[in-house]
């Protein structure tokens, strides 16, 4: 089997899993690209956009019934917009200024992996006192949205920071994850639109099959990760992910420093 195919397969699987659990997909993709010696920045960007679209379509498909109901729930629709707006605006500023690229290094990934492991642990100790059924308070949407801005730091984990924020506000693990997944839809879409300006669609015309494979693998893995992660949260705490993040952070520190 072609080695580049295995690289693409590895990155697609990591994206499909890590996008939804509290372990950073973007951080691990940066590290994996270095480990696999994937130096072609244009192809890496095309691949990154493709696997994120795979994850986006997976969450759309998984929550298709809920999403249909959202359009009849103006308050929830507004709160999803409110929770998404900060990261879109600040993300655009970071990208246009070039600051976003300064953050994309293994040192940042290692630091964020460890720091946000502690934050995840502390927030997960909060008792459940709020419920997300049809909506959440406007103030909570703002707080979760502001917390999501930290996801611009590679290694922090978008799902990790939003779930941590929702747990801190007293939502159950399942409710926290559901709201995190719902606001991922406009967030991932907006980020990919920004990244499309840097890509060259026809540059890899001979390798389209790799991008098709990447999309399909990311879609399938994302769908089942969302499903089983929500089932997991009904029974267990987030401690296993805290431990994984700490082990991963220490391993990366030893490997890269």
In the chain, the number of structural domains is 1
Residue 106 has pLDDT above 90, yes or no: no
pLDDT-derived band at 151 (thresholds 50, 70, 90) equals: very high
> Average pLDDT for residues 154-183, to the nearest whole number?
96
* Maximum separation of any 2 CA atoms in the chain, in Å: 54
Percent with pLDDT over 90 in the chain: 62
- pLDDT tens, residue by residue, 11-24: 899 999 999 999 98
State pTM to two decimals.
Answer: 0.90
pLDDT-derived band at 133 (thresholds 50, 70, 90) equals: confident
Give the structural domain span for 27: 3-256
- pLDDT tens, residue by residue, 25-47: 777 777 766 666 665 565 677 88
Tokens of 163: 């779930």
Contact in structure between 83 and 145 (CB atoms under 8 Å): yes
pLDDT at 34: 66
By three-state DSSP, how is residue 106 classified? helix
By three-state DSSP, how is residue 200 classified? coil
Per the prediction, the chain carries an average pLDDT of 89
The continuous run of DSSP H or E covering 56 comes out as helix 41-62
Q: How many CB atoms lie within 10 A of CB 20?
A: 31
Per-residue burial over 67-80, b = 16 or more CB atoms within 10 Å of its CB, e = otherwise = eeebeeeeebeebb
Nearest one of 142, 146, 134 to 75, comparing CA atoms: 134
Residue 180 has pLDDT above 90, yes or no: yes
pLDDT at 78: 94
Q: How many Cα atoms occupy the beta-carbon half-sphere of 147 within 13 Å?
A: 26
The DSSP symbol for 128 reads: P
pLDDT at 2: 72
């Amino acid at each position: 089997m072609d080695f580049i195919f295995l690289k693409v397969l590895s990155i697609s699987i990591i994206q499909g899993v890590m996008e939804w659990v509290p372990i950073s997909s973007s951080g691990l993709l940066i590290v994996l690209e270095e480990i696999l010696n994937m130096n072609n920045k244009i192809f890496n960007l095309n691949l990154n956009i493709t696997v994120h679209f795979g994850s986006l379509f997976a969450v759309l498909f998984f929550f298709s019934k809920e999403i249909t109901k959202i359009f009849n729930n103006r308050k929830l629709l507004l709160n999803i917009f409110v929770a998404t707006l900060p990261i879109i605006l600040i993300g655009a500023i970071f990208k246009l200024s070039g600051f976003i690229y300064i953050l994309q290094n293994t040192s940042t990934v290692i630091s964020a992996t460890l720091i946000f492991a502690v934050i995840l642990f502390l927030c997960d100790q909060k008792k459940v006192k709020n419920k997300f059924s049809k909506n959440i308070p406007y103030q909570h949407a703002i707080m979760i949205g502001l917390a999501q801005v930290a996801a611009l730091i590679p290694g922090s984990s978008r799902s990790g920071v939003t779930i941590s924020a929702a747990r801190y506000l007293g939502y159950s693990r399942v409710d926290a994850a559901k709201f995190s997944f719902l606001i991922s839809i406009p967030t991932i879409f907006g980020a990919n639109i920004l990244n499309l300006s840097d890509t060259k669609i026809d540059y890899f015309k001979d390798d389209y099959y790799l991008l098709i494979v990447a999309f399909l693998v990311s879609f399938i893995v994302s769908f089942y990760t969302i499903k089983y992660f929500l089932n997991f949260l009904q029974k267990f705490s987030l401690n296993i992910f805290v431990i994984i993040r700490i082990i991963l952070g220490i391993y990366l520190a030893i490997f890269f420093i």
